[in-house]
């Protein structure tokens, strides 16, 4: 089979690899659509913290079950060849303290497809049956977006957002926009900020309460004007930069919460006493849980969120090199980039 591989920063190639064979308890999946995540873009740029070269990227995707090598477990008897599915791409060890407590999303030895292990951007991939979820008839191109929605939804859940809250999302990329969508689905008034006006304009298609450009010297003024000086009940960091985490700490109300979804490599030197002074609840958020996938598949199936709005560009998967290069150069105007494996 053929696959997409990032050989080194800035170098994407189509390579020949052995077609995988499903082990007992696994299914062979034929890829349909795959989304290029911010972490995939970071891997392309050489800035992502959890990537080693060379590697097949990709962990948000939809696929058709081509073959099942069942192990007789009746729990997965509903999975059939021909079914359109999506998958949980976070592999946990099952042995660490986090796994023993059921916190499998933050396994100490986590390996995510396309990050710490070979990814899904190939014609075929195998997955364990427990990680495969029925797409329930959702368009495969939309189904491929469930995983990033889960990342955002999990972070919003961690922050305890509730109806009537004022929520600021810092970063209007895919994860940020979907975090806003998740908060809005909970009944919150959502505001977005980003350095790129084009992204904010696109993000407002999701019906958010407002937005403002995160420009030097104007951030605090905008926060004061929007909240009457109170600050936001929750601030969601969806970029992964020291400055944007600082933005969230500054924007959060006294007694408010901050959720960190973004991933970066840089350190932040700041006055940590502000966390004590405001009695902030600061939450890290990593990956997602099975319940996030199941809840959001149902939400999207019922029309609760139009995920298709986040797709700005679609490429044939064989044009992956161009897709990554274009995304790298135009990240300020491109939101979700999808690779089409059906052609």
pLDDT of the residue at 5:
98
Q: Is residue 297 part of a domain?
A: no
pLDDT of the residue at 333:
85
Q: What is the helix, strand, coil percentage profile of the chain, to 5?
A: 35, 30, 40
pLDDT of the residue at 51:
86
pLDDT of the residue at 221:
97
- pLDDT, one tens digit per residue, over 21-31 is 999 999 999 99
Q: Is residue 314 part of a domain?
A: yes
Q: Is residue 72 part of a domain?
A: yes
Residues of the chain with pLDDT under 50: none
User: For position 208, which CATH number holds?
Assistant: 3.40.50.720
The DSSP secondary-structure symbol of 117 reads B
Do 89 and 199 fall into the same domain? no
Do 326 and 193 fall into the same domain? no
Please enumerate in sequence order all residues whose Cβ is within 8 A of that of 244, keeping only pairs 6 or more positions apart, or say none: 170, 171, 214, 237, 238, 262
User: For position 32, which CATH number holds?
Assistant: 3.90.180.10
Domain extent at residue 129: 2-144+306-340
Instruction: Spell out the long-range contacts of 203-206 with Cβ–Cβ below 8 A and sequence spacing 24 or more.
Output: 203/172, 203/176, 203/177, 205/309, 206/177, 206/180, 206/181, 206/309
Do 210 and 91 fall into the same domain? no
Do 132 and 156 fall into the same domain? no
Do 140 and 158 fall into the same domain? no
pLDDT of the residue at 264:
80
pLDDT of the residue at 331:
87
Do 170 and 220 fall into the same domain? yes
In the chain, the number of structural domains is 2
Do 158 and 77 fall into the same domain? no
Q: Please answer whether residues 79 and 129 qualify as being in contact, where contact means their C-beta atoms are separated by less than 8 angstroms.
A: yes
Q: Is residue 8 part of a domain?
A: yes
What is the pTM for the complete model shown? Answer: 0.93
Do 16 and 131 fall into the same domain? yes
pLDDT of the residue at 266:
87
Do 230 and 326 fall into the same domain? no
Do 210 and 331 fall into the same domain? no
Q: Is residue 71 part of a domain?
A: yes
Q: Is residue 298 part of a domain?
A: no
Q: Is residue 290 part of a domain?
A: no
Q: Is residue 291 part of a domain?
A: no
Do 105 and 196 fall into the same domain? no
Do 90 and 157 fall into the same domain? no
pLDDT of the residue at 82:
97
């Amino acid at each position: 089979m053929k696959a997409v591989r990032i050989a080194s920063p800035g170098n994407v190639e189509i390579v020949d690899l052995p077609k995988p064979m499903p082990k007992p308890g696994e299914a062979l999946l034929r890829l349909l659509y795959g989304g290029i995540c911010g972490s995939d873009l970071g891997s392309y740029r050489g800035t992502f913290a959890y990537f080693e070269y060379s590697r097949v990227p990709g962990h948000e995707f939809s696929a058709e079950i081509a073959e099942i090598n069942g192990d007789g477990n009746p729990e997965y008897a509903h999975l059939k060849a021909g079914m359109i599915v999506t998958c949980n791409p976070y592999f946990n060890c099952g042995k660490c303290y986090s796994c023993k407590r059921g916190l499998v999303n933050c396994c100490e030895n986590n390996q995510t497809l396309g990050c710490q292990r070979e990814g899904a951007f190939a014609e075929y991939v195998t997955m364990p049956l427990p990680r495969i979820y029925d797409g329930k008839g959702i368009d495969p191109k939309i189904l491929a977006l469930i995983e990033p929605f889960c990342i955002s939804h999990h972070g919003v859940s961690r922050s305890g957002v509730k109806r009537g809250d004022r929520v600021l999302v810092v970063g209007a990329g895919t994860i940020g926009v979907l975090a806003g969508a998740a908060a809005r689905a909970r009944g919150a008034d959502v505001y977005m900020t980003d350095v790129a006006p084009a992204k904010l304009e696109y993000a407002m298609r999701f019906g958010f309460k407002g937005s403002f450009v995160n420009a030097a010297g104007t951030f605090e003024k905008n926060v004061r004007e929007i909240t009457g000086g109170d600050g936001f009940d929750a601030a969601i960091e969806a970029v992964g930069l020291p400055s944007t985490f600082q933005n969230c700490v500054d924007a959060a109300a006294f007694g408010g919460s901050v959720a960190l979804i973004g991933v970066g490599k840089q350190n932040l030197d700041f006055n940590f006493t502000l966390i004590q002074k405001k009695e902030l609840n600061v939450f890290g958020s990593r990956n997602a849980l099975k319940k996030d996938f199941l809840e959001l598949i149902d939400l999207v199936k019922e029309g609760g969120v139009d995920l298709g709005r986040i797709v700005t560009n679609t490429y044939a998967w064989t044009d992956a090199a161009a897709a990554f290069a274009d995304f790298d150069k135009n990240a300020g105007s491109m939101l979700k980039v999808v690779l089409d494996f059906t052609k």
